[in-house]
Chains A and B, each alone.
Chain A
């Protein structure tokens, strides 16, 4: 018999980026709120403090801040012909765990999607016709538009503390910004950060070739800043231990730095750590949730937390897992195409160039997670899909993020991997290398999806989630297009040596090397309950008191890092709950 806690108005599952946002916004309505976080508490002091945080082995290699697969993981297969095997030791993506979630140790690359990306099916139909959509691609429009979300992107950027330079202010193109971005109602809250030598070299070449370089928008403070919740940041020192690390000095945009202290001061908000939600409990008629059941790790027992409103903010992977385990939405069947939960899982299609300059000095340890110069000339809204034969786009960036030598040691491809030759190569090349990355879109497909694994179980005896995912030709063709364009830029930059690393047509998903923690879809937004799990407000179809935040809402992935859109959607949801739902709880669509 589970222990039962007193009823709350709201229970939030997961206290990362979106859980913190929903907690803060709903607490302003005077609601009685509890957030349940499976991991431990962690804060700038003492957990992220100097110098202990600057430890590559512990955090960069052994992944000290990341979820431990022993505690929760999933199985992966590349297609229905393969037996899915557990992701035993993380590589390709690194889910967060503990207060702050992945927001505690992300890079801070903060982008808004292009307006066309949110209405991609219409964009394709209007410009080239639906016949260019490849067989098996689930191309959709988001049920919200860029203009509707603009105030919420703006809100997130001002809470999160983003440094950057506007390229499109209310329709006016501003020199030095991204001319291909959607309209902004105001500039970024902080000016853009200065950039390192690699970024400058890239930007100079790009400009000379007629492209439009701009400073990458960063969730990294360029100045002192106070956000709308009264939280303070100080300027980043380019410490070079950013991604996978907590910031030791209040410079990285994270729930810790931007929300949590303010949230802790709200008397009607509380949170419990070591509280791992096992399932959402449904009312007998299945039309609402009654609360959630969680495992209290300290007490070693199940607890039922009744609540009037349930917010699933557990990150894309765990939101979908909880939905599959709780019977929220009909599970998706890739054979019939019916069902919604687990549908349209998507990822990111990236490539890069490495440039070696024997006589130039880059000091690669000077950097932060979103340092550098970008171009969007090959972005989604600049590409003629009909002519190029794919649907997609990418933004490029050059800017060193760290020079940590265990993992960041690019060497010419013909270098020895060990022995005297390797030692000589690391001595010769460390600090004389730069790179350019292409960060590309990834569409949703009929076969790439999430369901429950028939064999493997977690420590609570529940089935692990199973991911069926492989690269698809459309996105690989986009990547090959980027490769060809990037080869031209590299040639222009005249390095002593260079190499390109872009997945070839036919490439299969390799789960070992880190790629991105940009897992999307699985509880996508839709115009109607037949096509997705949630409506335009991220409210579950047919279960009106459950809302789900995060990139699980994405209809297909964009070409950008997801958090700008994730944060915008979270504020959009908070606004809908505050202004429409609380006074009259009901399906909002």
Chain B
């Protein structure tokens, strides 16, 4: 059975629904509703991540999009769930990409993805390397650091000096996936309650703005709708 491209894998879907994440596609005509309350993040059973990886991703995304200040953070929008499901699915396996050798992982970055590893493998290999670097530098695991130290460590991860060429892009993949989980449609497990869309004023899948084309410099008043018919 092949999975639909870009959708969470079937395995991920079944597991995630079993875990109570509201992901079923409802026809838009169905009564507008909020997402059913999902399983709390602490009780979520990752599909892809090991417990240690999950703890890292929870801690790291909480710094990449923190909860403090205006707007939701990665945790409230359930970005870690999104990343877990993406890595379990076609994206994580590089299912669409050309992955034949020979590989040149140290090539000029302008030449794009050249590591032999899939995105899922990059996470799997990079997290322990970064954790070892944290242990050496701070005498503590990343998850045990205070937020200021975590930010400092992430800035070092961004520089990537501790990473071999095969995993040198780990930070940028993690950051891209974090922002994707923040802003994508909630069917993928992140952007819970469309909070990130509400925060910036993006109306989601409304898709009909003809009368707004020539209403210039006037704020659009309606909140977002999602593909499954949620409204906020």
Contacts and interface: CB of A to CB of B under 8 A. Distances in A.
Interface in A39-61: 50-52, 54-59, 61
A195 B113 contact: no
Interface string B186-230: 011000000011011111111111101110111110000101000
B183 A405 contact: yes
Interface in A53-108: 54-59, 61-64, 68-70, 73, 76, 83, 85-89, 91
A195 B179 CA distance: 30
A261 interface: no
A237 B209 contact: yes
Contacts of B107: 85
Contacts of A73: 98
Given A423-B65, A511-B110, A51 B227 contact: yes
Given A57-B180, A69-B96, A457-B100, A194 B214 contact: yes
Contacts of B64: 418-419, 422
A577 to B, nearest CB: 36
Contacts of A64: 5-6
Given A56-B183, A85-B111, A511-B110, A427 B199 contact: yes
Which DSSP category, helix, strand, loop or mixed, fits chain B's interface? loop
Which of A89, A193, A405 is the most central at the interface, judged by chain B CB atoms within 10 Å of its CB? A405
Nearest to A456: B100
A361 interface: yes
A543 interface: no
Contact of A50 (B65, B73, B200, B207): B207
Interface string B1-22: 0000111000000000000000
B69 interface: yes
A64 B96 CA distance: 10
A311 to B, nearest CB: 28
B202 A365 contact: yes
A200 to B, nearest CB: 6
B112 A418 contact: no
Nearest to A84: B111
Contacts of A258: none
A418 B65 contact: yes
Interface string A126-148: 00000000000000000000000
B209 A405 contact: no
Contacts of A481: none
B66 interface: yes
Contact of A418 (B95, B175, B196, B205): B175
B102 A455 contact: yes
Nearest to A196: B213
Interface stretch (A11-19, A23-31, A238-246): A238-246
A510 to B, nearest CB: 4
A489 B25 CA distance: 47
B99 interface: yes
A504 interface: no
A248 interface: yes
A241 B207 contact: yes
A89 B219 contact: no
A89 B28 contact: no
Which of B68, B202, B220 is the most central at the interface, judged by chain A CB atoms within 10 Å of its CB? B202
Contact of B179 (A237, A360, A406): A406
B97 A89 contact: yes
A426 interface: yes
Contacts of A241: 207
Interface string B46-71: 00000000000000000111101111
A584 B94 CA distance: 51
A494 interface: no
A406 B180 contact: yes
A366 B99 CA distance: 38
Contacts of A419: 63-66, 151
A18 to B, nearest CB: 26
Contact of B69 (A69, A193, A238, A420): A420
Nearest to B228: A51
B97 A56 contact: no
B110 A57 contact: no
Interface residues of B, number: 67
Contacts of B206: 365
A12 B172 CA distance: 43
A118 to B, nearest CB: 33
A405 B217 contact: no
Given A54-B205, A70-B99, A508 B114 contact: no
Contacts of A236: 210
Contacts of B200: 405, 426-427, 430-431
A58 to B, nearest CB: 4
A550 to B, nearest CB: 23
A50 B28 contact: yes
A417 B172 CA distance: 10
A58 B98 contact: no
A528 B221 CA distance: 62
A360 B209 contact: no
B199 A512 contact: no
Nearest to B100: A456
B110 A195 contact: no
Contacts of A70: 95-99
Contacts of A88: 97-99, 112-114
Contacts of B212: 238, 363, 366
Contacts of A403: 202
Interface in A524-574: none
A186 interface: no
B142 interface: no
A339 interface: no
Contacts of A424: 69-71
A188 interface: no
A200 B213 CA distance: 11
B183 A406 contact: yes
Interface in A214-260: 235-241, 248
A61 B173 CA distance: 13
A514 interface: no
Contacts of B216: 196-197, 200
A468 B70 CA distance: 48
A89 B113 contact: yes
A505 B204 CA distance: 40
B207 A57 contact: no
B63 to A, nearest CB: 6
A423 B64 CA distance: 9
Interface string A393-430: 00000000001111000000000011110111011001
A211 interface: no
B210 A237 contact: yes
A422 B71 CA distance: 11
A492 interface: no
7 contacts: A55-B187, A57-B185, A62-B91, A89-B97, A194-B213, A420-B66, A427-B199
The 5 closest A-B pairs by CB, nearest first: A58-B6, A57-B184, A197-B216, A239-B207, A430-B200
Interface of A: 50-52, 54-59, 61-64, 68-70, 73, 76, 83, 85-89, 91, 193-197, 200, 235-241, 248, 360-363, 365-366, 403-406, 417-420, 422-424, 426-427, 430-431, 455-457, 508-512
